[in-house]
């Protein structure tokens, strides 16, 4: 499977093309829309999300609710586009419009964004040409692709969920959700204001977001993605670029504003002895090989072990602040202090949805690379056979 996204934040629409999906897989726009709606939610988002009502249109690759094996095209219209047609027009400007009025809008790069270096790299003196594509609006399409991937994984008995474990230094207590099934975890998160599974922490996180918003500042946090039901042996130790942990880390770090990744106990491993980190191996007839603990987060030697995969990512606080930071105008070279119209004070809950989807996409892609995946039922049979083989190994 391969995919590509296109589209500017305030352009007419966002597009994704996915190629390599098996035929005969159930897929409807509704399955994708449910996830797009979750990405738009979560306490702490700014005014843009009140304008957009993200809904996908499937315009190729699916017929009567099933994939055909041909490329799937997904589009989401930007409702905000109607306010930006002059500034973001694709056609050359009419002669009576002064290009300086519409094109040279942004000469003041925002610290923490792609603006300055993107401008240098592509030779844009109107930094709008950078920010339109570097915006996290693009994550809409990565959630749409991930929703397709999740649907693929679900049909193989593999489930993915993500939840928020920290915002602005307020952490969840893992005991609050340690015994929950993935379905129970999902049900709690979907009802929670900040997509968090610890009710006490959620109240505190929500208050922290309100407080930071009043102060014109922003907050980051940590999200955790869990994949359950994945068979052992996805990924490989034989070549560096086939390692599954590397691929998942790359996917997590590809999300706007994500600055770190950990697997299982992650950075805490630095302070622990090996005997408290590694997971002993057991076998019984019902489960086959399993681990009594899962401190390595379901990955060993660049391969899935069959235990739940646990990957966390840290999101920095949103860089556009109402309490602005100092920068330099690229035309005058004079320092200035930026003013802004709108921004998200905290997008960690929304980003947890993005994380869930990019990780699911990477896992779906790896499975399609490991098994013959022209038809969904053929793949289902092969995976079932493989699960039996590894159980008895």
Ligand X SMILES: C=C(O[C@@H]1CC(C(=O)O)=C[C@@H](OP(=O)(O)O)[C@H]1O)C(=O)O
Partner in contact with 137, chosen from ligand X, ligand FMN, none, beta carbon below 5 to 8 Å by kind: ligand X
Query: Which of 136, 183, 179 has its CA nearest to residue 8?
Result: 136
> Which of the stretches 81-89, 136-144, 162-170, 176-184 binds ligand X when contact is defined by CB under 6 A?
136-144
Three-state DSSP state, 13: strand
> Which of the stretches 1-9, 193-201, 250-258, 265-273 binds ligand FMN when contact is defined by CB under 6 A?
250-258
Point out the annotated binding site for NADP(+): 39, 45
Q: Determine if 234 is a binding residue for ligand X (CB under 6 A).
A: no
Spatial distance between the Cα atoms of 333 and 100, rounded to a whole number of angstroms: 19
Give the pair of three-digit tokens for residue 63. 């017929």
Query: Which of 78, 73, 55, 76 has its CA nearest to residue 9?
Result: 78
Give the pair of three-digit tokens for residue 349. 């809950």
Query: Which of 314, 313, 246, 256 has its CA nearest to residue 118?
Result: 256
> Which of the stretches 44-52, 191-199, 203-211, 264-272 binds ligand X when contact is defined by CB under 6 A?
44-52
Give the pair of three-digit tokens for residue 191. 């009802």
Q: Determine if 5 is a binding residue for ligand FMN (CB under 6 A).
A: no
Q: Determine if 127 is a binding residue for ligand X (CB under 6 A).
A: no
Q: Which of 18, 58, 106, 136 forms a contact with ligand X (CB under 6 A)?
A: 136
Q: Determine if 48 is a binding residue for ligand X (CB under 6 A).
A: yes
Q: Which of 24, 28, 73, 135 forms a contact with ligand FMN (CB under 6 A)?
A: 135
| Buried residues in 152-161 as b, exposed as e (16+ CB within 10 A) | bbebbebbbb
Q: Determine if 53 is a binding residue for ligand X (CB under 6 A).
A: no
Cβ-based neighbours of 74, under 8 Å, separated by 6 or more:
15, 16, 17, 18, 32, 56, 57, 58, 59, 141, 144, 145, 148
Point out the annotated binding site for FMN: 133-135, 256-257, 301, 316-320, 342
Q: Determine if 32 is a binding residue for ligand X (CB under 6 A).
A: no
Q: Determine if 256 is a binding residue for ligand FMN (CB under 6 A).
A: yes
Q: Determine if 256 is a binding residue for ligand X (CB under 6 A).
A: yes
Smallest distance from the beta carbon of 20 to ligand FMN, in angstroms?
A: 26
Spatial distance between the Cα atoms of 361 and 369, rounded to a whole number of angstroms: 12
Give the pair of three-digit tokens for residue 163. 């939840």
Phi, psi values for residue 176, rounded to 5°: -65, -20
Smallest distance from the beta carbon of 12 to ligand FMN, in angstroms?
A: 20
Q: Determine if 344 is a binding residue for ligand X (CB under 6 A).
A: yes
Smallest distance from the beta carbon of 337 to ligand FMN, in angstroms?
A: 16
Q: How far is the CA of 172 from the CAs of 36, 39, 234, in angstroms?
A: 25, 21, 30
Smallest distance from the beta carbon of 29 to ligand X, in angstroms?
A: 18
Spatial distance between the Cα atoms of 29 and 65, rounded to a whole number of angstroms: 9
Which residues, numbered 167-226, are part of the site for ligand FMN (CB under 6 A)? none
Region label for 168, one of left (φ > 0), alpha (ψ between -120 and 50) or beta (otherwise): left
> Do 244 and 304 contact (CB within 8 A), yes or no?
yes
Nearer to ligand FMN, 226 or 257 (CB): 257
- Site residue total, ligand X (CB under 6 A): 11
Partner in contact with 321, chosen from ligand X, ligand FMN, none, beta carbon below 5 to 8 Å by kind: none
Q: List the x/- string, 10-49, binding to ligand FMN by CB under 6 A.
A: ------------------------------------x---
Interaction site with ligand FMN (CB under 6 A): 46, 112-114, 134-136, 139, 255-257, 316, 318-320, 343-344, 347, 350-351, 354
């Amino acid at each position: 499977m391969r995919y590509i996204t296109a589209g500017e934040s305030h352009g007419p629409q966002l597009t994704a093309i996915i190629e390599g999906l098996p035929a005969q897989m159930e897929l409807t726009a509704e399955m994708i829309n449910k996830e797009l709606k979750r990405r738009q939610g979560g306490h702490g988002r700014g005014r843009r999300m009140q304008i957009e009502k993200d809904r996908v249109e499937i315009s190729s690759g699916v017929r009567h609710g099933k994939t055909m094996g041909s490329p799937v095209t997904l589009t989401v219209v930007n409702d905000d586009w109607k306010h930006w047609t002059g500034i973001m027009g694709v056609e050359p400007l009419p002669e009576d419009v002064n290009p300086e009025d519409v094109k040279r809008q942004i000469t003041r790069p925002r610290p923490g964004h792609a603006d300055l270096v993107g401008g240098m790299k592509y030779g844009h003196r109107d930094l709008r040409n950078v920010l339109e594509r570097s915006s996290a609006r693009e994550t809409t399409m990565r959630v749409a692709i991930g929703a397709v991937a999740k649907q693929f994984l679900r049909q193989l008995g593999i489930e993915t969920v993500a939840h928020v474990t920290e915002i602005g230094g307020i952490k969840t207590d893992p005991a609050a959700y340690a015994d929950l099934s993935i379905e129970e975890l999902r049900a709690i998160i979907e009802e929670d204001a900040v997509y968090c599974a610890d009710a006490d922490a959620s109240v505190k996180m929500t208050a922290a977001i309100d407080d930071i918003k009043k102060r014109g500042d922003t907050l980051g946090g940590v999200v955790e993605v869990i994949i359950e039901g994945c068979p052992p042996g996805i990924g490989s130790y034989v070549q560096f670029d086939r390692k599954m942990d590397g691929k998942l880390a790359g996917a997590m770090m590809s999300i706007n504003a994500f600055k770190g990744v950990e697997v299982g106990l992650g950075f805490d491993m630095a302070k622990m002895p090996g005997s408290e980190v590694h997971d002993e191996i057991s076998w019984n007839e019902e489960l086959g090989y399993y681990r009594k603990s899962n401190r390595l987060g379901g990955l060993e030697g660049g391969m899935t072990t069959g235990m739940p995969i646990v990957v966390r990512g840290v999101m920095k606080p949103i860089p556009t602040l109402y309490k602005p930071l100092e920068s330099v105008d690229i035309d005058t070279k004079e320092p200035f202090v930026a003013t802004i119209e709108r921004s998200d004070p905290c997008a960690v809950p929304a980003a947890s949805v993005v994380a869930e989807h990019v990780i699911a996409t990477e896992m779906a892609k790896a499975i399609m690379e490991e098994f013959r995946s022209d038809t969904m039922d053929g793949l289902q049979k092969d995976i079932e056979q493989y699960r039996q083989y590894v159980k008895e190994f």
